[in-house]
A and B are shown apart, each in its own frame.
Chain A
Amino acid sequence: MIAAFYLISVVLIVSAVLAVSLRNLIYCTLCASVVFISSAALFFLLKADFIGVVQILIYVGAVATLLLFAVMLTKNLVSRQYYVGQKRKWSYGIFTASAVLWVLIGSIRSQTNLAELVTADHQLSVVSLGKEMLTAFLLPFEVASLLLTAAMIGGIVIALEEKKKSS
């Protein structure tokens, strides 16, 4: 169990570093999907089957494919070398990283019985997850779906405008 955790973590971290440092954008996408799969494996290890499966379904099945499309639509991909983070604005990076770290540490510290939670042998049932989602966490759920709908409509509007200009 512990060994598996470390193995998966090493794979995850190495591929995450590769994903932002490789020069070939297609390889970057491939490494990103390895990151997604290994984080799904971490969820499986924590017995959160449903979340792991959804991780694969959404990130590998949809997001990685979307990334590939974005890469494919990049101009002159083959002839020119693209450098990820060419301008290297360290300040932004450090700010984002420390903000994420702060949120993570905060949420971990707020859990008093963390060790107990991780080692406890409980199965996250899909039914209870669904019930919580539609009762206790209804507002965040609705806000998220509203956001997604707005994003989708925005995408359609952008596509429509381009079509009008070209014709």
Chain B
Amino acid sequence: MLDPRFRGSDIKECMENLDQIFVQAKRTVMNLAESVLPQPLVLLVSMLISIGVIAAIGPVIMMYLTWLERKVVGRIQNRIGPNRVGKFGLLQPIADGIKMLTKEDIVPEGADHILHFLSPVLVVVPALLVLGLLPWGRNMAAVDLQVGLLLFFAITSTGTLSIFLGAWGSRNKFSLLGALRAVAQLISYEIPQVFSAVVVIMHTQTISIVEIVNAQPGFNWFVFTPWGFTGLVLFYIASVAECNRTPFDLPEAESEIVAGFHTEYSGMKFALFYMAEFLQVFSLSALAAALFLGGWQGPFLPSWIWFFLKTYGLIFIMLWFRGTFPRLRVDQLMGFAWKFLLPMSMINIVVVGIWTYASPIVAWVLGILIIAISFGVLAKLNTRYHIERNRKFILAE
């Protein structure tokens, strides 16, 4: 019989090994490379391993997000979703990929060929780049920059440009309408998104994503504080808008403007736009998890499993949004960003300032009070019309 204490430590050790399994794998390869290659080449190998893993994991994440989305939305609409290719339709994304690759690449006659070609390429680059900044687990960030969080926002902000170029290059009115909406929306929602992340920077006094995750050990996630919870909700809503997803999918509203900025794209170029969108869904969910939900921090399970659990939890909520909410109007969309999210995120900054300098009890009470009152006031100010209390609904017969 095994001694229970021994078994406990055994499991712990096993978990620790599992936790660092990818780090160990890379170290093994690096040791092998060091014994064979000269020093400068070893550095190159180290870089190539990280780049290769990220470049490979991006498309895989995207492919299975399409599968997940179709399955989840299918269940919400009382359907089964893809179920023919492979078990549970698991091979469906691969079939789709082959279909996309073999489709004809149509370029409109009046299109600007260079821009039309460049746009889908440029749109994928930032989406893949930011994956390198994410902390995938303990010791598992490809690069730990001092200014990581800021670089993340900088890289994602360049996506606007490529969307616009593609739409302009297509020479199509629906594309241009979609791009106009996209630019207005992305610029507007970037501001509350960055402002709601500022609270974390203020509290942790660092802009490195890895350091921010390190500042939330165990269950000390920022979401369990008043400003953290508000920050997460604001950041998450702004992120949904940044990804152009329902209910903020005006740039590609299929019932109004065909497919928005990617109307004139087919085949693999279309797939690249989708890839960028899904990768952005993933990376912004992962960033929200890292900023407010403690990233890879969590008990018992290996760190990277926690990371994926939190990220996919947030992604699931995004899919749930899609199955639930109708699309906003343009004025509602802009009003929501400028009249609600922005003031709310500014108030949140004040709350985290109080949190830093006041004693815990005062900070909790004041924080909750300020957030609740300002939420109420802002909601009241933003309500333009009132719905009658006791409305009678008469069914058409």
Contact = CB atoms under 8 A, between A and B. Distances in A.
B330 interface: no
B177 to A, nearest CB: 12
A158 to B, nearest CB: 19
A68 B164 contact: yes
Given A53-B151, A56-B155, A126-B207, A65 B160 contact: yes
Given A65-B183, A65-B187, A69-B183, A53 B161 contact: no
A61 B158 contact: yes
B153 A57 contact: yes
A30 interface: yes
Nearest to B169: A26
Nearest to B205: A127
Nearest to A61: B157
A61 B164 contact: no
Nearest to B187: A65
B115 interface: yes
B128 to A, nearest CB: 16
A82 interface: no
Instruction: Bin chain A's interface residue count.
Output: 20 to 34
Contact of B154 (A27, A61, A64): A61
Contacts of B296: none
Interface string B268-303: 000000000000000000000000000000000000
Interface string A8-27: 00000000000000000011
A91 interface: no
Interface in A52-74: 53-54, 56-57, 60-62, 64-65, 68-69, 72
A4 B146 CA distance: 22
A74 to B, nearest CB: 12
Contact of B161 (A57, A65, A72, A127): A65
B168 A26 contact: yes
A56 B168 contact: no
A50 B150 contact: yes
B34 interface: no
Contact of A26 (B112, B153, B207): B112
Contacts of A72: 168
Contact of B160 (A56, A61, A123, A127): A61
The secondary-structure label for the interface of chain B is helix
A60 to B, nearest CB: 5
A125 interface: yes
A33 B161 contact: yes
Interface in B112-145: 112, 114-115, 118, 145
Contacts of B351: none
Contact of A65 (B118, B151, B153, B164): B164
B127 to A, nearest CB: 15
Interface string B79-111: 000000000000000000000000000000000
B158 A56 contact: yes
A33 B112 CA distance: 18
B147 interface: yes
Interface in B141-192: 145-147, 150-151, 153-155, 157-158, 160-161, 164-165, 168, 183, 187, 190
Interface of A: 26-27, 30, 33, 49-50, 53-54, 56-57, 60-62, 64-65, 68-69, 72, 123, 125-127
Given A26-B115, A49-B145, A126-B147, 18 more contacts: A27-B114, A30-B118, A50-B147, A53-B151, A54-B150, A54-B154, A56-B154, A56-B157, A57-B154, A61-B154, A61-B157, A61-B161, A62-B187, A65-B160, A65-B164, A68-B165, A68-B168, A68-B183
